Each structure stands twice: as C-alpha cells, then as structure tokens.
Amino acid sequence: MAEFEVKSDIAGSVWKILVQPGDEIAEDDTLVILESMKMEIPVSSPEDGVVKSLALKEGDAVVEGQLVLVLTV
C-alpha cells in the first residue's frame, strides 16, 4: 500500500473535519472544510483510500501547501 499526502490549496483555517483515522473514503469525498475570507472551501479526496492520520484539528490555521492528512491508497 502507498501513502498519499493531501495538502491545502489555500491559506485559511480548518472549519470542519469530516473524517477520522481509519475511515474508508472514495475519490471526491469531502474530507475537510477550510474557511478563508468568509468562504467555505472543501478539500476532497484525490482517490479511494483509508485515512491514516490527520495533521490538523478544527480551528487550526493553515497555509497553502500545508499537510492536511495522509491517505493509505
């Protein structure tokens, strides 16, 4: 099995985390919702897999390119 790092495309804050380690997810599932400039931006899964670990918690600030979570694919 390979690991895939999901990273943030924007700077903002973590508004809502929708998955937990061990969750099976499908491609395009929303994993995390970021908030930036009063807009909610979903972070979607690039492929099917299992959430291995979360790198952030709700309320954390995030910068563009920052690790959000790791998938096992």
Residue count of the chain: 73
Reported confidence tier of residue 67, pLDDT bands at 50, 70, 90: very high
Q: Encoding tokens for residue 20?
A: 């937990």
Domain assignments of the chain as residue spans, ordered by start = 3-72
For 7-44, the pLDDT digits (tens) are 999 999 999 999 999 999 999 999 999 999 999 999 99
Position 49 scores a pLDDT of 96
The residues, any chain, with a CB within 8 Å of residue 12's CB and separated by 6 or more, are 34, 35, 36, 37, 41, 61, 62
Chain centroid to Cα 24, Å, comes to 14
Dist CA 21 CA 61 (whole Å)? 20
Q: What is the pLDDT of residue 1?
A: 78
CATH architecture, domain 3-72: Beta Barrel (2.40)
Residues forming beta bridges with residue 8, ordered by sequence position: none
Provide the 3-class DSSP secondary structure of residue 73.
coil
